[in-house]
Amino acid sequence: MPRLEPTGVRVARAGRREAHALHRGLCAVLGALVCQGALGLEGTAPPGAAPPASAAPAPLDGSGCRIVRLSDIGWTDVTATTALFGVLLRHLGYRPEITVLSLPVTYTSMKNRDIDVFLGNWMPTQETDRKSYVAEGSVEVIRANLTGAKYTLAVPAYAYEGGLRSFADIEPFAAELGHSIYGIEPGNDGNRLVLGMLRNNLFGLGGFKLIESSEQGMLAEVERAVRTHRPIVFLAWDPHPMNMRFDLRYLAGGDTVFGPNYGEARVDTNTRAGYSAECPNVGRLLRNLSFTTQQESQLMADILDGHLSPDVAAEAWLKANPSVVAGWLQGVTTFGGRPGFSAMQTTGKLADRLSLERWLEGHKIPVGDSIAVMIEYVKGHGRVLFDGLSAVIRDSVDGLTRLLRAIPSPLLILGAGALTWGLRRSVPLAVFVVAALLFIMNQGYWEATLETLSLVIVAALVSTAIGVPVGIAAAHRPRLYSALRPVLDLM
Give yes or no: residues 205 and 317 share one domain.
Answer: yes
Q: Among residues 366, 400, 435, which one ends one of the domains?
A: 366
How many domains does the chain divide into? 2
Give yes or no: residues 351 and 481 share one domain.
Answer: no
Between CA 338 and CA 328 the distance in angstroms is: 15
Return the amino acid letter for 378: V
**Residue 456: inside a domain:** yes
Give yes or no: residues 60 and 129 share one domain.
Answer: yes
User: H or E element: which one contains 153?
Assistant: strand 139-156
Give yes or no: residues 295 and 241 share one domain.
Answer: yes
**Residue 16: inside a domain:** no
Long-range contacts of 96-102 (CB under 8 A, 24+ apart): 96/67, 96/68, 96/69, 96/70, 97/67, 97/68, 97/69, 97/70, 98/70, 98/71, 98/72, 99/69, 99/70, 99/71, 99/72, 100/71, 100/72, 100/73, 100/74, 101/71, 101/72, 101/73, 102/73
Asked if 50 and 327 touch (Cβ cutoff 8 Å), the reply is yes
Give yes or no: residues 420 and 279 share one domain.
Answer: no
**Residue 20: inside a domain:** no
Give yes or no: residues 188 and 335 share one domain.
Answer: yes
**Residue 30: inside a domain:** no
Burial class (CB in 10 A: 0-12, 13-18, 19+), 127: exposed
Give yes or no: residues 388 and 362 share one domain.
Answer: no
Q: What are residue 156's DSSP bridge partners?
A: 248
Give yes or no: residues 223 and 356 share one domain.
Answer: yes
Between CA 15 and CA 23 the distance in angstroms is: 12
* 491 residues of the chain, pLDDT tens digit each: 333 343 343 333 334 444 444 444 444 433 433 333 333 333 333 333 344 445 677 788 889 999 999 999 888 899 999 999 999 999 999 999 999 998 899 999 999 999 999 999 989 878 888 999 999 999 999 999 999 999 999 999 999 999 999 999 999 999 999 999 999 877 677 888 999 999 999 999 999 999 988 888 899 899 999 999 999 999 999 999 999 899 999 999 999 999 999 999 999 999 999 999 999 999 999 999 999 999 999 999 999 888 888 999 999 999 999 999 999 999 999 998 888 888 777 665 545 544 566 666 666 676 666 776 777 677 667 777 777 887 888 888 889 988 998 999 999 999 999 999 999 999 999 999 999 999 998 887 888 888 889 989 999 998 999 889 998 998 899 988 888 888 888 77
158: domain range? 44-366
Q: Among residues 337, 366, 395, which one ends one of the domains?
A: 366
Between CA 155 and CA 234 the distance in angstroms is: 7
Give yes or no: residues 304 and 416 share one domain.
Answer: no
Q: Which of 150, 145, 151, 154 is nearest to 292 (CA)?
A: 145
DSSP letters along 192-242, please?
HHHHHHHHTTGGG-TT-EEE---HHHHHHHHHHHHHTT----EEEEESSTH
Give yes or no: residues 349 and 437 share one domain.
Answer: no
Give yes or no: residues 331 and 425 share one domain.
Answer: no
pTM: 0.61
Between CA 176 and CA 153 the distance in angstroms is: 17
Give yes or no: residues 168 and 135 share one domain.
Answer: yes
Asked if 90 and 84 touch (Cβ cutoff 8 Å), the reply is no
Q: Among residues 319, 335, 366, which one ends one of the domains?
A: 366
Q: Which residues contact 162 (CB under 8 A, 6 or more apart)?
A: 231
Between CA 282 and CA 295 the distance in angstroms is: 22
